Each structure stands twice: as C-alpha cells, then as structure tokens.
Structure 1
Amino acid sequence: MYDLTGFQRDLLYVTAGLDEPHGLAIKEDLEDYYESEIHPGRLYPNLDTIVDKGLIEKGTKDQRTNFYTVTRRGRREIEDRRNWEDQYVEDIL
C-alpha cells in the first residue's frame, strides 16, 4: 500500500466500507469527506490503478454500471496499514 497515493488509499478504504459500491457511491462518500467535487476523470483512472494492483476487483451490474469489491490482498493491506498507523498514533487517541 506504500505505493498508493492518499486518494487511492481513500478509495480503497471507502470501497471496503461499502457493500459492492458502484463508482458513483464511492464518489459521493469521498465528496462528503473532501467537501469538494471529484471529477470522473480523477475517480475512474485511480480505481483502475487499484484494480491493476490487485487490491480491488471490478464487476459488472449491468451494461452501464460496474461495482467494486476489496480483494483478500486488499483487506490484508488495509490491516497492515492500520497496524503500522497504530504504532504511531494509538496513544494519542
């Protein structure tokens, strides 16, 4: 996960927290968090990068809509990241 951008990491986390979200659902959650619009030209290439890295899988709901799920590797990477973060911030929370 060290080679992901912060935005890509946020995409992974949001995908993990939702049940087979489509791109628009991921986009809406991130827009709420970032408090700004996320353009499709930023969203979908970054989702594709995470798919290419094997952290999420892309499926098809219908001819126009894809959905995303976190892979076993993606979940393991999230867990490793959380453990790494905890060693630095656990005592301040």
Structure 2
Amino acid sequence: MYDLTGFQRDLLYTIAGQDEPHGLAIKEELEEYYEKEIHHGRLYPNLDTLVDKGLVEKGELDQRTNYYTVTARGRRELEARREWEDSYVGELLADSE
C-alpha cells in the first residue's frame, strides 16, 4: 500500500466500506469527502490501477456499469496500513476519548 497515492488509498477505503459499489457511488462518496468534483478522468484510471495491483476486483453489473470489491490481498493491505497508523497515532487518539 506504500506505493499508492493518497487518492488511491481513499478509493480503497471507500470501496471497502460499501457493498460492491459502482463507479458513480464511489465518485459520490469521494466528492462528499473532498467537497469537490471528482472527474471521471481521475477516478477510473486510479480504479484500474487498484485492479492492476490486485487490491480490487472489477465485476460487471451490466454492459455499462462495473462494480468493485476489495480482494483478500486488498484486505490484508488495509489491515497492515491500520496497524501501521495505530503504531503512530493509536495511543494519541485513545487518550483523547
């Protein structure tokens, strides 16, 4: 996961948090988070990168719509990232509760 951009990591988290989202659903979630428009020219090449890296699988709902799911490798990468984050900020965040 270290070689992903921040946007690609956000895509992975967004996909993991939904049940087989399609591109438009992912786009809408990220637009809400970023508070700005996400262009198709940015979204789909980055989704393809996640597929190429084996972190996400792309399936077909119909001839125009694809859905995305996190692979087992993607879940392992997310878990490793969470552990790494917790090693730096876990205590800090736990203390603030």
TM-score by length of 2: 0.95
Unmatched segments (≥5 aa) in structure 2: none
User: What is the CA-CA distance between 1:92 and the residue it aligns to?
Assistant: 1.3
Unmatched segments (≥5 aa) in structure 1: none
Give the superposed CA RMSD. 0.3
The structure having more radius of gyration, on CA atoms, is 2
The percentage of aligned residue pairs carrying the same residue is 78
User: What is the CA-CA distance between 1:91 and the residue it aligns to?
Assistant: 1.3
Q: Deviations over 1:1-50 (max 9, x none)?
A: 00000000000000000000000000000000000000000000000000
Runs of 4+ deviating beyond 3 Å: none
Please tell me whether residue 13 in structure 1 is matched to residue 35 in structure 2.
no
Aligned pair count reads 93
The residue number in structure 1 matching 2:49 is 49
Q: Aligned partners of 1:63 and 1:72: how far apart in 2?
A: 26
